[in-house]
Amino acid sequence: MLYLITGANRGIGLGFVGQLLARGDSVVATARRPDEADELQRLAERHPDRLEIVELDLGRQDTIDEVADLLGERPLDVLINNGATMQGAGPFEELNDSILFESFEVNTVGPLRVSRALLPNLERAEGAKIVNITSKMGSVADNTSGGSYAYRISKAALNMATRSMAIDLAPREIIAFVIHPGWVRTRMGGSNALIDTETSVSNMLRIIDGADEETSGTFQEWNGNQVPW
């Protein structure tokens, strides 16, 4: 199976690449700066025939188009929209507009751009899956602590976009759903987070592997729970 993962140079994205290669899948791993993606380069030395590393910046449509060109007519079984930014937009009175817009571009528009560009490849695979990595912080129902405007609203918007994609792409037999990876020890999650990357990724892969049309349009959590929207 062929997987494409954004933000694959570190954290959860890199964890996906490692586990997928270990079990024999092929991966297109994308990063903003492939030349600096040392861990991906090391994996590519071990798996030259199953790992391609390509540039993709979620804020730059030209890089997304180049990835689509590179894939050509190859079927893509699973697209994992993982790359994202989490920046504090400040207290309510001092909200920083540029952080709000950048977060929306990277976390919401970016996954939509990638999904749109790679739709022909997904259509060529049988039972293709679009997996959008979201956060519980994007759950309206779960928001009891406020704040984090940029991150929360960009992930809530991604959730809504995914629900529409699930409906719109169903006739083409492509499923789409969001999944919360847990609070994971990465640069974004910090060192106090509850689980490591390996645990998060192995559990999410189990959910992705088992996902079918019933899963499409749902808000999954790494541990098998469903998250309220």
Q: Tokens standing for 11? A: 């954290």
* C-alpha span between 159 and 18 (Å, rounded): 26
Please count the residues of the chain: 229
Q: Tokens standing for 94? A: 């001092």
* C-alpha span between 216 and 14 (Å, rounded): 25
When binding is defined by CB under 6 A, the residue of 2, 3, 4, 7 that contacts ligand NAP is 7
Q: Tell me how far, at minimum, the Cβ of 214 lies from ligand NAP, in Å.
A: 23
**CB closer to ligand NAP out of 38 and 209:** 38
Coil, strand or helix at 8: coil
**CB closer to ligand NAP out of 18 and 189:** 189
Catalytic residue among 3, 16, 149, 151: 151
* C-alpha span between 64 and 48 (Å, rounded): 22
Q: Residue 13 interacts with ligand NAP (CB under 6 A)?
A: yes
When binding is defined by CB under 6 A, the residue of 84, 112, 161, 174 that contacts ligand NAP is 84
Q: Per-residue x/- marks for ligand NAP, 117-136, CB under 6 A?
A: ----------------x-x-
Residues 145, 88, 225, 203: what is their CA dihedral angle, to the nearest 10 degrees? -150
Q: Tell me how far, at minimum, the Cβ of 93 lies from ligand NAP, in Å.
A: 26
Q: Scanning residues 129 to 168, which ones bind ligand NAP (CB under 6 A)?
A: 133, 135
Q: Residue 181 interacts with ligand NAP (CB under 6 A)?
A: yes
What stretches of the chain adopt beta strand conformation (E)? 2-5, 26-31, 51-55, 78-81, 129-133, 175-180, 219-221
Q: Scanning residues 49 to 68, which ones bind ligand NAP (CB under 6 A)?
A: 57-59
Question: Segment near ligand NAP (CB under 6 A), from 2-10, 93-101, 164-172, 213-221?
Answer: 2-10
Strand order of the β-sheet with 51-55 is 51-55, 26-31, 2-5, 78-81, 129-133, 175-180, 219-221
Binding site for ligand NAP (CB under 6 A): 6-7, 9-13, 32-33, 57-59, 82-85, 106, 133, 135, 180-181, 183-184, 186-189, 193
